[in-house]
Structure 1
């Protein structure tokens, strides 16, 4: 049992107005007089009954409370918004999804900072919860541990025909081709066989690995089967780690440094993670006051980091295979010669010290640096005259498609127009579809273009028609020449907003270039992009988001950190790099 110290920030003067009111509330909730001076910890339970991602989190809370109480700290469960990409993307064409990440951060700040709690432990699940928790940790800078709460048992893992990603793709294809959907509902009924995040190396599992690579989750905690013994072991070890962090007053900004962010970038490149991890890592860095250009780190390190794992949708292996081969800890062990192993973690040990006990790669599911799956980057950051602030492409490794694509632009205002362009014949082989005005400000909230990519695939055009957009696409997408998150976006008067039909666009994935082959003087003379007069953000949250959101180069956070060059002058910095 630890010795309590009265100096915690949650311990207000005992007879002050707020102190006495807190005593009245907390004594009525069952706290003893001795409890009142112990550290107060927030259990951040980002949970919801809307999706399977969160179905088990409420069962974790009582176990975690018992572990923390046994160690002499007082837990309080708090709740936040809990988005699921497959469920809460139905409204406003999915534009609530990215803003919900920052809403999670604000929810945590209001509860934890408002109550002046001493530390927090976060139950992370679906795509936006892990980045939201890590951003809040960086912002509040109180002792924090993130617990990746596991992936769902899928039908495919049972030898059945589909998981949730598969039924989603089949439904999207049928919507475009008009193919019969017989049997699709039965497949959906067998796709998810337990709680947890989607069973694939999409954004959720990618961000769970990011948490471990950053040092903010205990080693061996990602990815794990939801409700499996490794998950429960991580819950117990996380409680012990948090108490130790409180005792030693180790805070997130001691752990999340430029070196640890680079480690996370390397991990995502080595596992072929979701492209969405770029903007999330940038936002985590900004909230942690780390002045680093994550986009540039991906661009440079992508050519120095081989692919050591090939998990669906990138390759043949299931996430269960990846976990059984050692998971994120083994991946990081094999990658260690390229990492900053001296970075501190929530265990109190360095990353290298933690990895000393990790299993080596099996040479099949997780390979070594000497025998990788491939050396070309699975995540490619591009810059050029069309994307001076950066853009991103995701490709399978090895990639059967072209490394370079040049074609005339066909400009669309949204994904529905672009899908119609396929059916009408306006889009043809060799064209570059430009879907613009759907970036973080233009949408607002960042529009999804995955349905268009699936439509190209369904029509057999995935390798012969390219996509360039300031919107985003799913972490599942890794086919064709698809370039998203072009920055500056059209609504910020980026070059994408001045593209016209028949302008030539050149995409060079090997060199990391995205260029508009138009004379700069001619481009400057064109009228800037204007949003459609009938654009409707829906009011409320999305209107607020449009007014506050920062550029993607700043992680699309809601408040730029003054003094950080990557935020205060992101666009100008990108132009200088381009001119250089």
Structure 2
């Protein structure tokens, strides 16, 4: 094994103090010079997502010790979108991603450990682990720890996402709630992340595409033999990466990020993957505009899978059909096959071992489910930095919506606008001031969208917001994460009631039809004075967070140049070649 940074001079003050601590933990003296690896256990008793991670740790420790490595378990914060979103309207969720990164840096860099292996679970843990890997650039393997056995997969009526959707609609309409508790009791039948192809499973797949997880790792049933096989192979891969000094920045490149973008478009992954991939690129020091990659490649990438919530297939069926490995095999002609995996093999070599598409759950390139992008990135005079819409597979439309704006400062006010009649058919609801710095932490607008669905307005009222919405939302014209956000001086902050907004999902355009000179004369947006930030972490986040175009990473100095990106209004996309309609 090469020289290790963890091996301090043995009789130095710190070296001798470390010996005292580690000998007291039962580590033999002759092992003290071996590689020292962090097992990053993002665990918590608060949610099912994490309930099995503590069981993985002893197995992983045994596997690593058998390969001559000293493992140290460390812990980080562990957010769950369904549990830790109760406080301050869910605004802790996105900031917790960056808190995970800082947790890892403090423990791993502070102790000068040689490598890390990360147990990834719920939505923000995988991007946090990948961002930390890019920042620290020490040999790292990410283990996707699997999805839960859901009520739907067991032949029952609902999974957790369906229960959440039903409860949200009932809250808006005042409909019956008698069966909700019974449905909830049967929705989650094992540990693991939500079973659909939402953010957690999407990010697990991305870890594999980036080469940071072993091939065939995602998606995977939590607690299954395939998961345990992945755990054992991950231990072996980490030791091999240590021996060959194979670091994350050799794996996380512009080419591998572009491969991840293609894959998300091919499976209709979560819209949250855009900002997470951009943040991963920033931390790994990769020059790439992920928003633009999604915008361009979205119209050139066929849809090879139709998995819930985009389509009818269950994640179990997707896994059984070959999962990410099979999708990559089919997509390979459109990918950079020279990108490396943590195993040392290229993507092309890995794909050669994957099974071909079955033609039903996963389709080949020449017979896709569709050619309309499931994830549409828009740019234009209202979103110079980009915005995003999620669409079903296949996409029945509508694809264009033009109407007068009705401006709201939060989702509750917008929901009230439906009941009061202020918001009518043909309007574009604008919910602004809830972006990463405006909220701060990004406000959720899903409840408003569910209210539109409950009132039958999902196709006759559009939404434009600088906040975010759930991956369950993929119908109607709903546009989120508008950048620059209102609080950062974006055009969204100057929209007035009655201004005409034009949304074109075909060309990827989001425009405000107001004379630029008139718009320039309007006063700048002012955030509400009564925002509840608690005077703690969210206030710190507001001061440090960078724009969505930079992945919403944290940076101590706004003028430091590491994160800031000025994005001029890009053409709508008429210059982008479009795939022919699928047969």
TM-score normalised by structure 1 residue count: 0.97
1:574 alignment partner, one of 559, 568, 577: 568
4+ residue runs over 3 A deviation: 560-568, 575-580
Tell me the residue number matched to 1:121: 117
Tell me the residue number matched to 1:178: 174
Counterpart CA distance in 2 for 1:342 and 1:537 is 46
Within-5 A mapping of 1:556-575 = 556-559=552-555, 567-568=563-564, 570-571=565-566, 573-575=567-569
2:69 alignment partner, one of 49, 69, 73: 73
Tell me the residue number matched to 1:488: 484
Within-5 A mapping of 1:51-130 = 51-130=47-126
Tell me the residue number matched to 2:579: none
Deviation at 1:479, TM superposition (A): 1.2
2:499 aligned with 1:476: no
Deviation at 1:257, TM superposition (A): 0.3
Query: Contact (CA 8 Å) 1:392, 1:486: kept in 2 or not?
Result: yes
Within-5 A mapping of 1:283-302 = 283-302=279-298
- Summarize deviations over 1:263-307 as a string: whole Å, max 9, x none: 000000000000000000000000000010000000000011010
Q: What SS does structure 1 have at the residue aligned with 2:473?
A: coil
2:472 aligned with 1:501: no
Q: What SS does structure 1 have at the residue aligned with 2:379?
A: strand
Deviation at 1:566, TM superposition (A): 8.6
2:163 aligned with 1:167: yes
Deviation at 1:574, TM superposition (A): 2.7
- Summarize deviations over 1:300-359 as a string: whole Å, max 9, x none: 000110100000000000000000000110111111110001001111100110111111
2:243 alignment partner, one of 244, 247, 250: 247
Tell me the residue number matched to 1:267: 263
Tell me the residue number matched to 1:367: 363
Q: What stretches of structure 1 of length at least 5 have no aligned partner? A: none
Query: Contact (CA 8 Å) 1:550, 1:560: kept in 2 or not?
Result: no
2:562 aligned with 1:543: no
Counterpart CA distance in 2 for 1:541 and 1:317 is 40
1:22 alignment partner, one of 18, 23, 36: 18
- Provide the alpha-carbon RMSD of the alignment: 1.5
Within-5 A mapping of 1:362-401 = 362-401=358-397
Q: How many residues align?
A: 574
Tell me the residue number matched to 2:278: 282
Query: Contact (CA 8 Å) 1:333, 1:356: kept in 2 or not?
Result: yes
Counterpart CA distance in 2 for 1:466 and 1:197 is 31
- Summarize deviations over 1:8-50 as a string: whole Å, max 9, x none: 0000000000000000000000001111000000000000000
Counterpart CA distance in 2 for 1:483 and 1:277 is 15
Tell me the residue number matched to 1:217: 213
Query: Contact (CA 8 Å) 1:286, 1:561: kept in 2 or not?
Result: no
- Against the structure 1 CA distance between its residues 531 and 43, is the aligned structure 2 distance closer, same or farther, given a 3 Å change threshold? same
1:531 alignment partner, one of 511, 527, 531: 527
Tell me the residue number matched to 2:410: 414
Query: Contact (CA 8 Å) 2:380, 2:569: kept in 1 or not?
Result: no
Q: What stretches of structure 2 of length at least 5 have no aligned partner? A: 576-583
Q: What SS does structure 2 have at the residue aligned with 1:410?
A: strand
1:355 alignment partner, one of 344, 351, 365: 351
Tell me the residue number matched to 2:39: 43
- Summarize deviations over 1:44-82 as a string: whole Å, max 9, x none: 000000000000000000000000000000000000000
1:232 alignment partner, one of 228, 234, 240: 228
2:339 aligned with 1:343: yes
Counterpart CA distance in 1 for 2:81 and 2:375 is 21
Deviation at 1:129, TM superposition (A): 0.2
- Against the structure 1 CA distance between its residues 260 and 462, is the aligned structure 2 distance closer, same or farther, given a 3 Å change threshold? same
Counterpart CA distance in 2 for 1:563 and 1:123 is 34
- Summarize deviations over 1:378-405 as a string: whole Å, max 9, x none: 0000000000000000001222221100
Deviation at 1:489, TM superposition (A): 0.2
Counterpart CA distance in 2 for 1:242 and 1:407 is 54
Counterpart CA distance in 2 for 1:478 and 1:565 is 35
Deviation at 1:536, TM superposition (A): 2.2
- Against the structure 1 CA distance between its residues 577 and 479, is the aligned structure 2 distance closer, same or farther, given a 3 Å change threshold? closer
TM-score normalised by structure 2 residue count: 0.97
